[in-house]
């Protein structure tokens, strides 16, 4: 634990991470978004981080949800401990050379790992890589990722894709919440002893998903 990046001690003993998007009342009424803000909580509902998305208004208006962004994730003291960066890329399955990817830094300026989309004709598939760009885990989603009135699960698997070790879930939180406030609620379940840097990368994967 002495070698942990500053701020990641909050992830050290967690096997479940909850990410809740915050939407202000004015945004809900007008149907417009400013920069996205999120709370990142432990299983007890206690906030361990908060995140703010930085992007251009043009990106948000024309390219969402494919827009480039930088996500700044800070601990309760306000210190930025994780930075997630995604460039603007193509999402077309016909363009396997321009698939989605992002970089996770912790602390900012030091690579913790990467999330890379893998080409597949109908399944959303991603690879989690460590700071040396070595493959560590796979994430495989369902054919339909916009489930109506139900949760959507992305399975976290070993590299052989045979063993499931966790999941990333998008929780359906009710008609009013989804239609009128457009909030997102995600849960990450991983082994408690997973490297904390990879847990930080899993948070980045959640934002990419």
Give the total residue count for the chain. 209
Range 9-207 has CATH code 3.30.70? no
Contact 74, 49 (CB under 8 A): yes
Residue 156 to residues 21, 153, 160, 191, 192: CA-CA distances in angstroms?
22, 9, 11, 10, 14
- pTM as predicted: 0.81
Work out the number of other CB atoms within 10 angstroms of the CB of residue 100. 19
**3-class secondary-structure state, position 200:** helix
Read off the pLDDT of residues 79-137 as tens digits, 9 standing for 90 and up.
999 999 987 555 454 455 557 789 999 999 999 999 999 988 778 899 999 999 999 99
Domain boundaries, the chain: 9-207
Distance, CA of 167 to CA of 55 (rounded, Å): 28
The whole-number average pLDDT for the span 25-42 is 67
Spacing of C-alpha 153 from chain mean position: 13
The whole-number average pLDDT for the span 19-29 is 66
Of residues 196 and 57, more confidently modeled = 196
């Amino acid at each position: 634990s002495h070698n942990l990046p500053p701020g990641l001690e909050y992830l050290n003993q967690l096997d479940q991470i909850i990410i809740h998007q915050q939407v202000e009342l004015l945004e809900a009424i007008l149907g417009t978004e400013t920069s996205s803000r999120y709370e990142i909580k432990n299983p007890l509902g206690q906030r361990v981080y908060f995140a703010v998305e930085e992007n251009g208004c043009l990106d948000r208006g024309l390219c969402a949800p494919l827009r480039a962004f930088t996500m700044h994730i800070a601990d309760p003291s306000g210190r930025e401990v994780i930075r997630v960066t995604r460039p603007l890329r193509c999402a077309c399955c016909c363009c396997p050379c321009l698939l989605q990817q992002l970089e996770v830094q912790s602390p900012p300026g030091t690579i913790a790992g990467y999330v890379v989309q893998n080409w597949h004709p109908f399944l959303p598939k991603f690879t989690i890589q460590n700071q040396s760009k070595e493959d560590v885990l796979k994430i495989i989603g369902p054919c339909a990722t916009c489930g109506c009135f139900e949760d959507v699960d992305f399975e976290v698997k070993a590299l052989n894709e045979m063993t499931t070790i966790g999941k990333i879930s998008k929780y359906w939180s009710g008609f009013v919440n989804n239609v009128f406030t457009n909030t997102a609620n995600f849960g990450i379940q991983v082994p408690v002893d997973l490297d904390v840097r990879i847990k930080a990368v899993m948070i980045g994967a959640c934002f990419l998903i």
